[in-house]
Amino acid sequence: MNGTERIYLDYSATTPPCEQAVRTFTEACGSVLNANSAHEPGRETAGHILVAGDELLSLLGLEDREVIYTSGATEANNLALKGCFERYYPKGKGHIITDVMEHSSVIAPVSTLMDRGASFDMAPLDGEGRVDIGALRGLIRPDTLMVSVGTVSGETGIRQPVEELGRMLKAEFPGVIFHTDATQAPGKCDTDLADADLISLSAHKFYGIRGIGALIRKRKVTLRPQVQGGASTTLFRSGTPPAELILSMTAALRETLRDRERKYARVRQLNERLRVFLEYFDGVTVNSPANAVPHILNFSVPGIPAEETQRWFDREGIFFSTRTACARSVSYSAAVEALTGSRDAAARSVRVSLSHLTTDAEMERFMEAFRRFMTCGGKDGADYGV
């Protein structure tokens, strides 16, 4: 690193906790106790959790749901998939439909469930990386248990047609459970998830503190718990409720959604500026469609593996990802390969993710560094006189 100020362009991996979340957490540490305790302080803490959960659902525009608190979206996705499979497989429901754009915490549980008798299909995508609803409809069988399609792709920013998909499933296949991993959605797009049966969230993706997430459940859907033993706020996930984290998550969502139009416009401006800049470089291809959420911009660099690009910028104190942060063991982006039809482009793709916190000065430094990077072909700048 060259000693200059660090630049963070990896907000889709995690966001810094906002002041409101930190303050709420800190204050709660001195005032809340174990919500499982029968004494008055325990009952008061349980009441605070109930109020926070109701506000969380209200902020999301959801009604008559249960909030199952988890350690994050990875646990929520595992609970949704494994919990439903274990509950409904004995009744003849073992077929799962998902898509290649999904996070590894969806794909990996599906793979595990296949060893236990599940079958699955990958829903085809259209030319812009969105699930083809007509083709997905044709995959549904009498034994189909669940359709799991994420709201926003964490690698490409593609927004899936979850509203349309939810309406189709509710109208035509009411016995099929619809799960969506909405981790990347809050603050990035307005989405109506009224027809989703299970919704996964993680606070650290919307300026909350790491270690808390949720699976939001329609009450008609039951699950087999994956964490058992001891009371909690729910039958479906045991353990002492982390009241401080729960309250801070609601505070983070409240702040994320405050003044969202201004924040969105700011990120859109940054995204458009970066897209125009990248057009000047021969062979650089932007993989994120124009209608993707502006917070995520995926592009491929000619002739240079993604890991080498990332390492070069890392030395410059500029930080972004090659894929999702949870997919480091994979040598290329399956999502980008599905979108572009090219494994080579997928192996050279990187993801810059932006925030309303991103400054013009940070963008200038990134673009200046990118010019030098392209001039030296990804090699050490000292060897090329740059």
Pairing type for strands 119-122 and 95-98 reads parallel
Residue of 18, 84, 326, 376 marked active site: 326
Is residue 110 over pLDDT 60?
A: yes
Query: Cβ distance 117 to 89 under 8 Å?
Result: yes
**Which backbone phi and psi does 12 adopt, to 5 degrees?**
-80, -20
pLDDT value, residue 384: 32
d(CA 245, CA 203): 9
* Residue percentage of the chain with pLDDT more than 70: 95
pLDDT in tens, 27-83: 999 988 889 888 998 999 999 999 999 999 999 999 889 999 999 999 999 999 999
Residue 2 is predicted with a pLDDT of 52
**CA 173/CA 351 separation, integer angstroms:** 36
The arithmetic mean of pLDDT across residues 150-160, rounded, is: 97
Q: Report the amino acid identity of residue 374.
A: M
Mean pLDDT of 133-153: 98
Specify the residue for token string 């080498």.
308
Question: How many Å separate Cα 37 from the centre of its chain?
Answer: 34
Fold exhibited by the domain 19-257: Aspartate Aminotransferase; domain 2 (3.40.640)
How big, in percent rounded to 5, are the helix, strand and coil portions of the chain? 40, 15, 45
CB count in 10 Å sphere of residue 207: 26
CA–CA distance, 156 with 160 (Å, rounded to integer): 11
pLDDT band at 380 (very low <50, low <70, confident <90, very high): low
Residue 3: pLDDT band with limits 50, 70, 90: low
Give the 3-state secondary structure of 125-160: ECCCCCECHHHHHHHCCCCEEEEECCCECCCCCCEC
Confidence of residue 155 (pLDDT cuts 50, 70, 90): very high
Which segment of 13-22, 83-92, 222-231 scores lowest on mean pLDDT?
222-231
Predicted pLDDT of residue 317: 97
How many H-runs (helices) and E-runs (strands) does the chain carry?
Answer: 12, 12
348 SS3 class: coil
Mean pLDDT, to the nearest integer, of 88-106? 96
User: What is the model's pTM?
Assistant: 0.94
Q: How far apart are CA 12 and CA 45, in angstroms?
A: 32
For the chain, the structural domain boundaries read 7-16+259-380, 19-257
Q: Which amino acid is at 179?
A: H
SS3 state of residue 251: helix
**Tens-place pLDDT, residues 199-224:** 999 999 999 999 999 999 999 999 99
Whether the Cβ atoms of residue 123 and residue 63 lie closer than 8 Å to each other = no
Task: Identify the band that residue 323 occupies on the pLDDT scale cut at 50, 70 and 90.
Answer: low
Under CATH, to which class is 7-16+259-380 assigned?
alpha beta
- CB atoms near residue 324 (< 10 Å): 20
Determine whether 189 is an active site residue: no
Bridge partners (DSSP) of residue 181 are 200
**pLDDT band per the 50, 70, 90 thresholds, residue 230:** confident
Q: CB-based burial of residue 243 (10 Å sphere; 0-12 exposed, 13-18 middle, 19+ buried)?
A: buried
End-to-end Cα spacing for the chain: 15
**Quick one: 42 exposed, middle or buried, by C-beta within 10 A (0-12, 13-18, 19+)?**
middle
